[in-house]
Structure 1
Amino acid sequence: MNSNELSRVITQRVACDWRAAYALAADPARLPEWASGLADGALAREGEHWVATTPGGRAVLRFAPANEFGVLDHWVAPEGVPEVYVPFRVVGVAPGACELQFTLLRQPHMDDAAFAHDAEWIARDLRALRALLEAPAR
C-alpha cells in the first residue's frame, strides 16, 4: 500500500442468499454482533439516527433506506470529526452465495499505517459477519 491509495474494496464471500445477508446486515440493532469497529459497545436509536459507542468514542450513524439492491451505505459522524461516508454492498454471486463489498475511503488525516489498520479491522468485521450468516439456524 502507498499513500497514493485513496480507496480499497474489501470483500468477503459468504455461503448465504444475498437477501438474507442484506436483511441481517441492514439491521442496525445487530451491528454489535459483528461490527466491532462501528458498534463495539452500546447502540441506541435516537429518532432517525442511531448512536453507537465506538472504540474512538460516541458516533451518530445514518443508514441508506431499505432497498432491493443490496445497498448498505451508511454515514458515521464521530464526535469532533466530519461525517464519513461508508459505501457497503451485498451482491448475489450465485444461488445461495453472496459477496460483501465494503469500500474503505481514505480520510484526509490517514497515513498509510492508519489506512492499513482500518482495512484489517474491516476485513475482520466482515469475517465475523460471514460467520454469523453461515451459522446454523438456532
Structure 2
Amino acid sequence: MDKNNISTYAVKHISISINKPADEVYSYASNPENWPAWTDFIQSVVKENSTWFAVSDLGRIKVEFVPDNNFGIIDHWVTLTDGTTVYNPMRVIENNQGSEFVFTLFRMPYMTEEAFEQDATAVMNDLKTLKKIQEKEC
C-alpha cells in the first residue's frame, strides 16, 4: 500500500450522555423498529427477509447492521437511492451508571462544509430526542 495515497474524511464524533444503563439504551437504539421515534430522518422501517429498509427524507434506503453484540456497537451501512453506501459508526458506552451515545459522522467528498454542519446538527437533535425518550422511561 502506498502511504502517500491514503486519505481520510473529516469527522465529527457527536455524543450525548444518557441517564440510563448502557445495555438498556443499546437494546432500544439498536432496534430499527424504534428509529422513527428518535431519528427525524426516518419515517418508517420494514424488514424484508433479513434486510432492513427505511423510508427516509432521501427516499427508500437499505440499512445493514453489524450483528447484535455485547459491546454496544450499532454500526450500520446505509445504501441511498443512487446506490451510494455510507458507513455510520454508533456506540453506546457505559458512563458510570448511565451511558454515552456516540455517533461518528464522516464528511463525504460531495458534502459542503455547510451540509456537513447541517448533518451534525441533525444528528445531535436525534440524540437529544433519544435521550429524552430514554430518560422518560427511567
TM-score (norm. length: structure 1): 0.91
What runs of 5+ residues in structure 1 fail to find an aligned partner? none
- Matched ranges for 1:117-136 at <5 A: 117-136=118-137
Preserved CA contact (<8 Å) 1:48 1:62: no
1:77 to 76, 79, 90: 79
- Displacement after TM superposition at 1:59 (Å): 0.5
Preserved CA contact (<8 Å) 2:16 2:102: yes
Aligned twin of 1:86:
88
- Displacement after TM superposition at 1:81 (Å): 3.8
- Displacement after TM superposition at 1:5 (Å): 7.0
| SS of alignment partner, residue 120 of structure 2 | helix
Residue 10, structure 1, aligned to residue 11, structure 2: no
Aligned twin of 1:103:
104
Partner amino acid, structure 1, of 2:17:
R
- Displacement after TM superposition at 1:123 (Å): 0.1
- Displacement after TM superposition at 1:56 (Å): 1.2
Aligned twin of 2:65:
63
- Displacement after TM superposition at 1:136 (Å): 3.3
Preserved CA contact (<8 Å) 2:9 2:109: no
- Matched ranges for 1:38-57 at <5 A: 39=42, 41-57=43-59
Structure whose CA Rg is larger: 2
What runs of 5+ residues in structure 2 fail to find an aligned partner? 1-7
**Percent identity (aligned):** 31
CA RMSD, aligned part only? 1.4
| SS of alignment partner, residue 62 of structure 2 | strand
